[in-house]
Each structure stands twice: as C-alpha cells, then as structure tokens.
Amino acid sequence: MSDKVIIFDTTLRDGEQCPGASMNLREKMEVARQLERLNVDVIEAGFPVISEGDFEAVQRIATEIRGPIIAGLARCVTKDIEAAAAAVKPAGERGRIHVFLATSKIHREHKLKKAHEEILRLAAEGTRLAKSHCRDVEFSPEDASRTEPEFLAQVVETVIAAGATTVNIPDTVGFAVPEQYGGLIRYLKDNVGNIDDAIISVHCHNDLGLAVANSLAAVQAGARQVEGTVNGIGERAGNAALEEVVMALKTRADFFGKLHSDVHTREILKTSRIVSRMSGLHVQRSKAIVGENAFAHSSGIHQDGMLKMRETYEIMDPVEVGWGGTELPLTKHSGRHAMAARLEHLGFKLSEAEIGAVFVRFKEIGDKKKFVYDDDLSALVDDSMMPQDEGWQLQKLEVSVATGQQPRASVVLSRDNESSEGNAEGNGAVDAAMRAIDAVVGRSGNLLEYNVQAVTQGHDALGEVTLKVDFGDGRLITGKGASTDVIEASARAYLNAINRTFIRRELGEQAAGV
Ligand code: KIV
Ligand code: ZN
C-alpha cells in the first residue's frame, strides 16, 4: 500500500452546500486556480445535474484546471451520471464521476424506501453506467458509518466488482468516533475480497467536532484518500478541514511515519483567505493553522519562551503554512501595472476590464489610506469583481445622522450608463442606505446577517462588510463590500448582493441543494 494520502478537496461541492456560501462562476474559478496551486490531488468541482450554473462551473474547471483530477458528483440515476460525465469530459483522463447512494437502514427505509437487494442492484448499475463514460469512478455509500458493517461490505464489494476505482466511506452526519471509524475501515479491509482493487476514501462531517480526528484514524487503518474542505466549511458543522489533516500528517511524522500528502503547504494560508473571501464565510480567530491567532502568543511566559527558542511553544513553523511573507504595501502612487502584478501574486486571475475596475477603487482608497496592503487589495477585488456592464454601480452616497432625528440616505446608482437617484429614511444609517438603494433598483432585501471587519490595522483601516440578505425567495445571498467608511462598505455589500441575484436570475440558475 502506498504511503501517499490522496487529498480530495470538496470545497466547491460540499463546502458550497453551506448556507449562504454559494459562489458564482468567477469566484469558483478563483478557488479552483488556488486549489491547483495548493496541489490537491482531486477537486470535486460541483454537482452538475442540480443547476446550469453548477454544470457550467464543473465544465469550466475541467477545461481550465491542469493537474488535479476533476470530479463531478452524481446520484445513482442516469440523468445525474450523464450530466457529470459531460461536465468532466474536458478533463480527459483526469475526469472522475463520483456516484453516491444511501445505504444505512434509516435512509433505506425512510428516504429511499428500498430493500437491500435493490440498493445493491442500483449501486452496481450506477457504477457500471459511470464506468461506461469514465475510467475513474468513485462510489460513496451515503451514511456509511451508520450502515450495518456486513451490508456495507457487500455494497463495497459489489461496486468494486462493477468498476469503482475509489470507494468512499462517508460519515455523512458526523456520528462516528475515531476508534470505531478506524475499526470500520479495518473491517472493510479484512472482509471485502476485492478491497485491494480500489482506494479507500474517507469523508467526515464535523457535527461532533471529530471530522479531522476521524479522518486521521481512518488513514491509520488503511484509507488512502481523505475528503474535506478548506477552512472546514460545509453542510451544518462542516467537513474535515483539509489544512488540519495535511499539517497533522506533516507535523506528527513521528507518529504517522511515512504517510504524507503532496500539498504545497506554503499555499495553505493564501487558499484559506481566498476561500473565505469567495464564500463570504469568515474564519474564526482561533481556528487551527489559518486563524488570526493560530500563531499569536500573548502570555508573557509564552513570549519569553518563544524568544528563547521558538519550538518551546510552536509545534509548526508558521512560514511552512504561508504566514509571515510580508510584502511592501502599495500606495496611491503605485501604477496599474504594479497593482496588477500584486493581484496576480495574490492568486487572482482577472480580465483587463476587471483589473480596470479594481484600479478605480484602488485609486479611491489610495487617496484615503497611506498604504494599501495585500488584504486591502483582496477586499477591493470582491466588490469590484462585477464587470461594469453587469450590474448596478454606486456613484454617490450621502447619509445624514443626527441625535433625535431619523437617519436619511441618498444614493446615485448607475447601470447601462444611466444614473438614478433614490432617497429614504431608515432605522439607522445602514438601513437608510439600503432602503435608498431599494428605491432605485425596485427590490427589497431582508438583512439576515451583518458582519464588519477591519481588514488591516490602524485608524485608516479598510472596513469590509459581509452581509446575507433574503430577497423574498428564501435564499441567503451573500454580499461583500469594502471602504474606509463602514456605511459606504455596507451600501457596496448590499449592492453586491443585489447584483449577484440579478445576474444569477439572468443566467437562469436555480437554488440548489442535495
Ligand atoms: O456527506 C456525504 O455523505 C456526502 C456524499 C455525497 C459523499 O457528501
Ligand atoms: Zn458530505
């Protein structure tokens, strides 16, 4: 058995299923390009059958991303498998179809209403159909960790016989505990006759906070593919955080022996930041490896120890995961070329029009702020990503707030070279700005989440607002905006959310969910 642990990234599929995380095509491409630089082995790019948007994203990623295998998810039904096959086709030999079917008693009896034999038949047929399109087929018995081990072994043997090259054992509801989950993998290795003809994969959810621990226990028991997401984003409590799995293997080589991944660990922090920006999901400060505090030492005793010898309180070198590479900040005097070069270095691949839009915002910010840091620039990309001709642009915002008076806002927005003005009162300055925008665009959003963060430090720091809005159809739409003024950042974020729904509807995308 090889010592290499295959890293399967499902940030763009399971990660994207996280409420409010949905990314548009442009954002998915940014993430996919960074995953390529991170050197993951497999990118699960989406679930092609669920929407035109998902299909297009998987197809674009399969066309443009070189290196990793590109997987598309499919239920065990013909239309799903055919959609996945068509979407991953441009990846050629690097295409993978990932078929799943629930196997646990509770899913069989209450969700699928199917007996054992029918599950075995469908699993075999689905795998064979996928195999007729693609050499590389992965099969997942959904809710495997709650499936009777004897029946699970039968399913695994059946799909390997039908051509599955990877068999994934999902802990779909995050129910497993490490010893038991490792034991299940060992059981399959001992009781499935053809187990050596496929790679055993694991896919753990974090409902009990055990996703990484379970994944590592499974690897010790013989699994050689780990599925997870960057920053651990995903359904409910999320998926196994890949950066934690990768760094556990690397840092505890004394324990895991030769087991290793091929991930370029110095790209980890950059990847975490890009995923956080593109998904609108903030990383908690104390998050392992990538949180702001992951390598911060505040107590005097720790600081003293660190100064004497770093290893007294640090088990990893922060540089190894991408911390510490401070670059000279840009200023208002920096030109378009310098800014474009820095954007490229940060991992963004933007068209000339998009660079132009970011540059306009860069100059505005440069007038207000002495230095424009990398994080500032990344924040500017978020609210400039919408090409000029695709949505509403904020031209002017005036807000008046005085004690004892109702806040008032006035905005001028432009679209298709036409400007319109809107005025409104609100409960507060942000509310007034949002209502004034509503008055122009003719829709009204219900603000469900609001978060403001200083991007860098200092009195002139850029404020980045991330908000989630429901425009009446029950979907949570994320909007992001940045400015040295938080009210303006809020207005930009709200407009960003409006533009995202507007463009989605034009593309005819539907709400998606498994
Ligand atoms: O959690 C799960 O079971 C899944 C499968 C589709 C692999 O995401
Ligand atoms: Zn999952």
Residue located nearest, by CA, to atom 2 of ligand 1: 172
Residue 243 inside a domain? The answer is yes
Three state DSSP letters for 212-251: HHHHHHHHHCCCCEEEEEHHHCCCCCCECEHHHHHHHHHH
Distance 199 CA to ligand 1 centre (A): 17
3-state secondary structure of 3: coil
353/346 Cα distance (integer angstroms): 18
The amino acid at residue 476 is L
pLDDT of residue 394: 92
Number of domains in the chain: 4
Domain that holds residue 182: 6-279
Distance 277 CA to ligand 2 centre (A): 22
Residue that has been written with the tokens 């990793």 in this structure: 68
> Who lines ligand 1 at CB under 6 A?
14, 100, 140, 142, 168, 170, 172, 203, 205
Verify that 319 and 354 share a domain, yes or no. no
Give the list of residues 6+ apart from residue 123 with CB closer than 8 angstroms, or none: 76, 101, 103, 139, 141, 155, 158, 159, 162
Give the list of residues 6+ apart from residue 113 with CB closer than 8 angstroms, or none: none
Residue 203 inside a domain? The answer is yes
- Burial tier of 110 (Cβ tally within 10 Å: 0-12, 13-18, 19+): exposed
Cα 356 to Cα 86, 365, 383, 426, 485: the distances in Å are 35, 14, 13, 34, 22
Residue located nearest, by CA, to atom 3 of ligand 1: 172
Instruction: Write the CATH number for 456.
Output: 3.30.160.270
200/225 Cα distance (integer angstroms): 6
Residue 513 inside a domain? The answer is no
Distance 305 CA to ligand 2 centre (A): 41
Task: Give, to the nearest 10 degrees, the angle between helix 25-38 and helix 268-279.
Answer: 170
Q: Phi/psi at 425 (nearest 5 deg)?
A: -105, 160
Verify that 346 and 262 share a domain, yes or no. no
Three state DSSP letters for 145-179: HHCCHHHHHHHHHHHHHCCCCEEEEEECCCCCCHH
Distance 201 CA to ligand 1 centre (A): 12
Successive 10-residue mean pLDDT values, the chain, 514 residues: 96 88 87 97 97 96 97 98 98 98 96 96 98 98 98 98 98 98 98 98 98 98 98 96 98 98 97 91 93 79 74 88 78 89 85 88 87 84 64 92 94 91 95 95 90 78 87 84 91 89 54 33
Residue 242 inside a domain? The answer is yes
Verify that 214 and 170 share a domain, yes or no. yes
Whether 478 and 466 have beta carbons less than 8 Å apart is answered as yes
Verify that 272 and 306 share a domain, yes or no. no
Residue 363 inside a domain? The answer is yes
Residue located nearest, by CA, to atom 1 of ligand 1: 172
Verify that 266 and 376 share a domain, yes or no. no
Beta bridge partners of 140: 100
pLDDT of residue 426: 95
Residue 78 inside a domain? The answer is yes
Out of 47, 97, 171, 205, mutate this one to test ligand 1's pocket (max ligand atoms within 8 Å of CB): namely 205
Residue located nearest, by CA, to atom 8 of ligand 1: 14
Verify that 135 and 212 share a domain, yes or no. yes
Verify that 189 and 254 share a domain, yes or no. yes
pLDDT of residue 463: 86
Verify that 231 and 303 share a domain, yes or no. no
426/492 Cα distance (integer angstroms): 17
DSSP class of 446: E
273/220 Cα distance (integer angstroms): 30
pLDDT of residue 383: 67
Angle at 393 between CA 391 and CA 394, to 5 degrees: 150
Cα 56 to Cα 85, 204, 271, 510: the distances in Å are 13, 27, 22, 13
pLDDT tens per residue, range 403-422: 989 999 999 999 888 999 99
Whether 170 and 135 have beta carbons less than 8 Å apart is answered as no
188-194: Cβ within 8 A, 24+ apart: 188/149, 188/152, 188/153, 188/156, 189/221, 189/222, 191/149, 191/150, 191/153, 192/153, 192/156, 192/157, 192/160, 193/157, 194/157, 194/160, 194/161
Q: Phi/psi at 313 (nearest 5 deg)?
A: -130, 5
Verify that 165 and 306 share a domain, yes or no. no
418/140 Cα distance (integer angstroms): 52
Q: How far is CA 157 from the centre of its chain?
A: 33
107/155 Cα distance (integer angstroms): 15
Give per-residue burial for 477-504: e unless 16+ CB within 10 Å, then b.
Answer: bbbbbbbbebbbbbbbbbbbbbbbbbbb
Residue 198 inside a domain? The answer is yes
3-state secondary structure of 429: helix
